[in-house]
Amino acid sequence: MTANWRTSLARLGIIWVALLALFWRDAADMASIWWNSSTFNHCLLIIPILWWLVDQRKPELAKLEPKPWALPLVWMAAASFGWLLGDAAGVALARHAGLVMLLQGSVALLLGPAVTRGLLFPLFYMFFLVPFGEEFVPALQTITAEMCMWLLGLTGIPAHIDGIYIATPTALFRVAEACSGVKFLVAMVALGALVSNLCFKSWPRRIAFMAACIIIPIIANGLRAFATIYIAHHGNLDFAASFDHVIFGWVFFGIVIALVLAAGWPFFDRAADAPAIHADQLAKVSGTALKPAIALGAMAAIVLLPFGWSTYIANRASPVPAQIDMPEVAGWARVDHRPLHPWKPHFAKANHTLLGRYRNAQEQEVDLYIAVYDRQSEGRELVGFGQGAAGGASDWSWIENCDAPANARCERIGTKDRNRRDVVSFYRVNGTTSGSGATVKLATLKAKLLDGNQQAVAILVSAEQKGRENARPAINSFLQSIQDIDKLADRMAGLD
């Protein structure tokens, strides 16, 4: 190894340590997700795979000379700004991706265009360190449920679908988050990307193999869910549950992987002993050079300015009342909260939460839930995975969306015991009220970037479905009596 290589790698090591120290919360959050979430346990294998991919290329890389390169500063600026947006909007995916992109960019910045080209796939593969995929759970649940219904129809088993609940003459089945197949899908995509790089030279073949790694797991998961229902219908429910866990968790996944690799084997067009890169070709790659001091100074400015602004916003005072009480609503009286089935929305680590029941002269009843945050941060968000009317450890699940009032979201939720309720949700941040998750995230982003009010409030109005009685008239009547949701939310946050 030349002195230039030793100096460049020493600089890179120091920069990586500095970045991981500066963004330690995001690094620790990612590592915690890899270790604690079974959906992302495969990420623990990505780090040794990255080491092996780099080691494969080491003999050829040693023939090149590293030198600082200007263009990656653009990549790092995008990464740093993306991290700031993610931090401001409370989007962990953007923060995690921003950190990974900063690590990637520092490699390219300090080692230059030729070395970067040689490390292009390992650098790309670093994106699989970012925990992603849970955003697809609701869609995958729906796809799995619809596939089950289609297969049940083919086999002549009578069934009825209600959102993610499938009722057969034997039992009522719920396509839960764990049954969505997202674990299988994200792991297969990571494996598919690795195999596509190692075993294929042709881009059409790589694309076809990646498509198979996306489509086949979805189909396989639908077949697994159908098999569970089929066995339960013709046999024992307890056996079906154990079959679903053991066969899918320990055998089925491995069988599908083996079948996908076996199907792709005849089309592999890259020799097993083919070199990963060729130094003579990489040496021809050029780019605008930088002096090391200029590269390091520019990188420090790009990273520290957004981080400093985020720190300032996080330390800015954003008080809420020490205590809040259920509001008085004209025409409605507070009554004991005795639901047919326990229900409590999930808004983690809110400063205040209230839940109460109201009844009017027409004997209509509604439940009002209020959550107040002094500010939003990681794990303390109005909108996020596991938050909302059917979030947390609740046995309530989303069934379908329904017609919503202005600036609200309406959803119908239910339990396996066929309890149903409609929920109308309002979220208010920095003067914006909406039921749209994207709008709430944007309002949160603007509040943090432009130094606005950080207080955030969720107001949920819900009514149980009793028999065939429609729950919406009670909700509509209650909302009409409240008149101004914005004023109520601001009063709860201490902003009126």
| Cα dihedral sign, 120-122-128-129 | negative
What would the pLDDT profile of 286-319 be if each residue is shown by its tens digit?
Answer: 878 889 899 999 999 999 999 998 888 877 778 9
Quick one: pLDDT at residue 240?
57
Q: How large is the average pLDDT for residues 24-48?
A: 93
Name the band, by pLDDT with cuts 50, 70 and 90, for residue 282. confident
| Nearest one of 57, 18, 39, 13 to 128, comparing CA atoms | 39
Name the band, by pLDDT with cuts 50, 70 and 90, for residue 253. confident
Distance CA 280, CA 303 (A): 34
CB burial of residue 375 (10 Å; 0-12, 13-18, 19+): buried
What would the pLDDT profile of 437-457 be if each residue is shown by its tens digit?
Answer: 889 999 998 888 888 888 999
Distance CA 142, CA 222 (A): 10
All residues at 6 or more sequence positions from 225 whose CB lies less than 8 Å from its CB, including other chains: 144, 145, 147, 148, 175, 179, 244
Distance CA 437, CA 277 (A): 44
Distance set, CA 125 to CA 49, 145, 184, 278, 309 (Å):
9, 32, 18, 19, 30
Distance CA 125, CA 43 (A): 11
Three-state DSSP at 19 gives helix
Distance CA 160, CA 277 (A): 56
Distance CA 223, CA 144 (A): 8
All residues at 6 or more sequence positions from 167 whose CB lies less than 8 Å from its CB, including other chains: 159, 160, 161, 173
- Are 192 and 209 in contact by the 8 Å Cβ rule? The answer is yes
What would the pLDDT profile of 173-224 be if each residue is shown by its tens digit?
Answer: 888 777 778 888 999 999 999 999 999 999 999 999 999 999 999 999 898 8
Quick one: pLDDT at residue 186?
93
What would the pLDDT profile of 314-367 be if each residue is shown by its tens digit?
Answer: 777 789 999 999 999 999 999 998 898 999 999 999 999 999 999 999 999 999
Quick one: pLDDT at residue 385?
77
Query: Is pLDDT at 238 greater than 80 in this prediction?
Result: no
Distance CA 52, CA 321 (A): 55
What would the pLDDT profile of 152-182 be if each residue is shown by its tens digit?
Answer: 999 988 988 887 888 888 888 888 777 778 8
Quick one: pLDDT at residue 12?
95
Q: How large is the average pLDDT for residues 5-13?
A: 94
Name the band, by pLDDT with cuts 50, 70 and 90, for residue 244. low
Residue whose entry in the numeric block shows the structure tokens 């944007």:
442
Distance CA 303, CA 295 (A): 12
Query: Is pLDDT at 400 greater than 90 in this prediction?
Result: no
Quick one: pLDDT at residue 45?
94
